[in-house]
Amino acid sequence: MRYLLCLFLLLLTPLTVYGASQSAVAKTAQLIDQQEMEQIFDDYLAEQSMLLPNVDLRFKSLALPDSYKVPAGRIAHQVIPAKPGVIGSRRMTLMTRVDGRIISNQSVRVKLEALAEVAVITETLRRGAILDSGDVELRYQDISRLKAPIFSLEDVIGKRLKRSARLGRPLQRQQVEFPPVIKRGERVVIQAHSRGLMLTAAGEARQDGRNGEAIRVMNSNSRKEILCQVIAPGLVKVEF
């Protein structure tokens, strides 16, 4: 009789589970704290520094968001700068995926310092001047606000200025007249990039082009014209 009474009372008592079940609940969410976020950004900047061996990149400030939780699964982070090539970016996006699904997408304010030796004008020069070795020198400075600095004096000696240049100012590529690396009618190789894949095709340049410029190229197979970016003599690329 006493045994039946105890069993009856036990069935009426709310059941509380400890131990393993609580651990299972805790594992359903993972915390991304500011220390981990800082490491993600540092790793990203280290990767960019390898792509820009002449430039010393560092954060002057990094306004990280509060810690956030993501569900359990395979986590992947991606940092996307506001400007291609990272230099000059004042914001970066931190995107977090879990098992391929975007869970968090946050904009982060940054102040980036980019130090490098770049060509600087040693005296004021007018448009049309031909640059010689006494007109430019290399100086180590912050280039984070420059669009297209020049890292080698050999690139500009003997070139003509398209715009006036002032004493002590960094010389930028848009100020200098560079000869085209691809000429109209020249045979070129087209690199087509799409989702990590790359295909190549033969083409013909329909206009002159310098490094980094976009030019019209006719695909030799389809006979269609497409807009491509010049990346080297005889080589252009297009993104799909």
Listing DSSP states for 182-234 in one string gives B-TT-EEEEEEEETTEEEEEEEEESS-B-TT-EEEEEETTT--EEEEEEEETT
Return the residue matching tokens 């699964």. 73
- pLDDT per residue, tens digit, the chain (240 aa), is 444 344 333 334 443 333 333 323 334 789 999 999 999 999 999 999 888 878 999 999 999 999 999 999 999 999 999 987 788 899 999 999 999 999 999 999 999 999 999 999 999 999 999 999 999 999 999 998 888 899 999 999 999 999 999 999 999 988 999 889 999 999 999 999 877 788 999 999 999 998 888 999 999 999 999 999 999 999 999 987
May I ask the CATH class of domain 31-114?
A: alpha beta
3-class SS at 5? helix
The gap from C-alpha 153 to its chain's centroid, in whole angstroms, comes to 26
With b for 16 or more beta-carbon neighbours within 10 A and e for fewer, the 192-213 pattern comes to beeeeeeeebebbbbebbeeeb
The whole-number pLDDT of residue 240 equals 74
Q: How many CB atoms lie within 10 A of CB 43?
A: 11
Q: What are the residue ranges of CATH 3.90.1210.10 in the chain? A: 115-177
Distance in angstroms (rounded) separating the CA atoms of residues 6 and 69:
44
CATH number for the domain formed by residue range(s) 187-239: 2.30.30.760
In sequence order, the β-bridge partners of residue 194 are: 197
The whole-number pLDDT of residue 161 equals 95
CATH 3.30.2130.10 applies to domain 115-177: no
Q: What are the residue ranges of CATH 3.10.129 in the chain? A: 31-114
Q: How many CB atoms lie within 10 A of CB 130?
A: 12
The whole-number pLDDT of residue 18 equals 31
The whole-number pLDDT of residue 25 equals 35
Q: What share of the chain is helix, strand, coil (3-state, %, to 5)?
A: 20, 45, 40
Distance in angstroms (rounded) separating the CA atoms of residues 200 and 189:
7
pTM above 0.75, yes or no: no
Distance in angstroms (rounded) separating the CA atoms of residues 180 and 53:
25
Q: What are the residue ranges of CATH 2.30.30.760 in the chain? A: 187-239
